[in-house]
Amino acid sequence: MIIIHSEEHRLQSGRSELNDGQLVPCYEKPERADIIRDRLAAIGVGPMVTPDPHGLEPLARVHDAGYLSFLQSAWDEWLVEHGDWDALPLNWVAPGMHRRVVPRSIDGRLGYYSFDAGTPITAGTWRAATAAANSALTGADRLRAGDRSAFALCRPPGHHAGRAYYGGYCFLNNAAIAAQSLRDNGAARVAVLDVDYHHGNGTQEIFWERGDVLFVSLHADPIDEFPYFSGHADETGAGAGAGATLNLPLPWGTDWAAYAEALAVAARRIGDFAPDALVVSLGADTYGGDPISRFRLLSEDFLRMGAALAAMNLPTLFVMEGGYAVADLGVNVGNVLTGFEGA
């Protein structure tokens, strides 16, 4: 399995995020990709390549032009206004308020285009985010070229990023960009399966009214867990996308036995959809040792997860999402890919 990875990921290195009322060091940090890269190299998953450039067009197939323009200029505007410190929003649109007019203020636009204060924009954010998107796009290219699978070691992650908003450590929706690229280059139907601990609200929003891209997500129940405001089982899509979203929320404390049952439901739905390719938003924060999550998967369960994904027998692009138990992250991600390959 080819691994696509850019060292430009380390250009995203926030100083702090707002978490539980305190500014704390960012959980989403460069060491995450380093430990995955080193582990995959050590176990010989496959050749590691850098991403091919793809320009802005594939990004604009998923994200709003104004949002992309904001992302490209936000840091420079922040720097002039506030100096060299991470850009974090200070207020958002609340019920009864309107997003009718885009603020001129950089502080106003940070809030206009985001949904949390845990996702710092820094000098290198745009370059890191576009490198991650290019990794996912290069993985899609490899599937199109006939590879059975590929792993895009993306950092920053993407599944919380919507058409026109960032948050949850995500700026560009790498998995959605890859799925759209597969659609634009011959795949009639694509399934996105999100196995990250958190609901992929951005991916869901992007494909909400699309019947050609199935979105399936297993995640912690949003009644209790971030991102809180999406991911309930009764969210099933709209318009041409009615029935093309399947949310499988799971309770805190979920172990592999329960997780595997939900994964089997997901697999059946994906099989019924009969896609030409599968994009897996691979978050490893379902791990019992994850510092910000509350499922109870063990490292060996990720081998089983990989085998279950392989049993779907589809060309599969893995796109890295979350996972913050850094010491075990390489083993856990490596186990998914090993389980997939060994099946």
Ligand X SMILES: NCCCCCC(=O)NO
Q: Which residues are catalytic?
A: 160
Nearer to Zn ion (CB atom), residue 194 or residue 235: 194
Nearer to Zn ion (CB atom), residue 172 or residue 314: 172
What does the alpha-carbon distance between residue 213 and residue 82 come to, in Å, rounded to a whole number? 41
Judged by DSSP in three states, 114 sits in strand
The residue within the footprint of ligand X, chosen from 2, 16, 19, 147 (CB under 6 A), is 19
Residues 227 and 167 sit within 8 Å (Cβ to Cβ): yes
What does the alpha-carbon distance between residue 338 and residue 306 come to, in Å, rounded to a whole number? 7
Distance of closest approach, residue 196 Cβ to ligand X, in angstroms: 4
What does the alpha-carbon distance between residue 256 and residue 343 come to, in Å, rounded to a whole number? 18
Q: Which of 206, 261, 281, 216 minimizes the C-alpha distance to 243? A: 216
Query: How many residues interact with ligand X (rule CB under 6 A)?
Result: 13
Q: Is 70 exposed, middle or buried (0-12, 13-18, 19+ CB in 10 A)?
A: buried
Judged by DSSP in three states, 18 sits in strand
Residue 235 binds which one of Zn ion, ligand X, none, with CB within 5 to 8 A depending on kind? none
Binding mask 191-210 for ligand X (x = CB under 6 A): -----x-x------------
What does the alpha-carbon distance between residue 19 and residue 27 come to, in Å, rounded to a whole number? 10
Nearer to ligand X (CB atom), residue 86 or residue 141: 86
What does the alpha-carbon distance between residue 131 and residue 120 come to, in Å, rounded to a whole number? 17
Could you tell me where the beta strands, DSSP code E, fall in the chain?
2-4, 17-19, 22-24, 48-49, 149-152, 190-194, 213-220, 245-250, 277-282, 316-320
Distance of closest approach, residue 96 Cβ to Zn ion, in angstroms: 30
Q: What single-letter DSSP state applies at residue 198?
A: S
Residue 169 binds which one of Zn ion, ligand X, none, with CB within 5 to 8 A depending on kind? ligand X
Distance of closest approach, residue 134 Cβ to ligand X, in angstroms: 21
Q: Of 20-79, which residues contact ligand X (CB under 6 A)? A: none
Residue 19 binds which one of Zn ion, ligand X, none, with CB within 5 to 8 A depending on kind? ligand X
Nearer to ligand X (CB atom), residue 194 or residue 235: 194
Is residue 285 part of the contact set for ligand X (CB under 6 A)?
yes
Is residue 118 part of the contact set for ligand X (CB under 6 A)?
yes
For the beta sheet containing 316-320, the strands, ordered from the edge strand earlier in sequence to the opposite edge, are 48-49, 2-4, 149-152, 316-320, 277-282, 190-194, 213-220, 245-250
Is residue 226 part of the contact set for ligand X (CB under 6 A)?
yes
Contacting positions for Zn ion (CB under 5 A): 196-198, 283, 285, 322
The residue within the footprint of ligand X, chosen from 86, 235, 321, 328 (CB under 6 A), is 321
Distance of closest approach, residue 117 Cβ to Zn ion, in angstroms: 17
Judged by DSSP in three states, 32 sits in helix
Distance of closest approach, residue 110 Cβ to ligand X, in angstroms: 16
Residue 256 binds which one of ligand X, Zn ion, none, with CB within 5 to 8 A depending on kind? none
- Residues near ligand X (CB under 6 A) are 19, 118, 160, 168-169, 196, 198, 226, 283, 285, 292, 321-322
